[in-house]
Amino acid sequence: MHSSYSLGLIGYPLGHSLSPVLHQTALAEAGLAGEYSLFQIPPLPEGRQELAELLDRLRRGELQGLNVTIPHKQSVLPLVDDLSASANAIGAVNTLYMQEGRLIGHNTDAPGFLTDVNKLPLFESKTALILGAGGAARAVVYALLKQGWQIRITDLNPQQVNDLYEHFSQHVVEISKLEVIEFSPSAIREAADGAHLIINTTPVGMHPNVEACPWPEGMPFPKNACLYDVIYNPAETKLMNLASAAGLPSRNGLGMLVEQAALSFECWTGFHPSRSLMLDGVVKFNPQMARSTP
């Protein structure tokens, strides 16, 4: 137990981040002194030295824990000493901490997503269509494959989705349940037809580009499906609006954000924070987030 905790988030850009509110709420509840800072580090190669120097501060004990978000969830992989089993299987890190003198890369996104997506009225048939193949998608794919889901995934960047598939073909036994599809309206329409869960893991539609939408224009949504958008700002994305208008239950990523934050906080402090208090803190900070309250 430390007398004061210096925590923070690595990412770029970070103007929209709710993480400081979540973790300051948790620190207050735990009765712990500390602060949660934002470390805005540009993508590699530009941010390489700055990223390495920040992780050295964690090694020296100047910081007690860091979260990692876009675009560094994979950038930090070569810089850690060990990966937890989940971070290794996912191939992405969102939580960093020291343990017995070694820098550990961990991932709380997968259990965070799984806890939250189960609040949707999901169907018996476990078939999902995932848009995007970045760090967030890796956590979602891992979580769903571990639960026996059949997944189709697509991304505008073929290299990114192929890298994801290659990674999971080496780390997950259930690779036959993962299928890469072409990023085209016809392929997405066909894949959506049998899907009972559609998940957007891309940043398309995130503040400030709130009019953007990753769903092909004019394409109908499948019946008997649910939509999960990992974006939480805005609380209701254009994709969620379209899905709701088509009668699909939808949910944004705020619940996932809260859950992964709480799990990270437990790694750093050993304290089990109240998820509802963390959520209340966010809604007080930004009343527009009330749409997302579970």
Closest CA to 220 of 250, 196, 192, 199: 192
- For residue 14, the one-letter residue type is L
Q: Are strands 178-180 and 150-154 parallel, antiparallel or unpaired?
A: parallel
The question of whether 119 is a catalytic residue gets the answer no
Q: How far apart are CA 294 and CA 40, in angstroms?
A: 30
- 93-130 burial, b if ≥16 CB within 10 A, otherwise e? bbbbbbeeeebbbbbbbbbbbbbbbeebebeeeebbbb
d(C-alpha 9, C-alpha 24), whole Å: 13
Angstrom distance (rounded) from CA 146 to CA 221: 26
Is-contact 227 198, C-beta < 8 A? yes
What is the number of other CB atoms lying within 10 angstroms of the CB of residue 284? 12
Contact 165, 141 (CB under 8 A): no
Straight-line distance from the first to the last Cα atom of the chain, in angstroms, rounded to the nearest whole number: 32
What amino acid positions are annotated as catalytic residues? 73
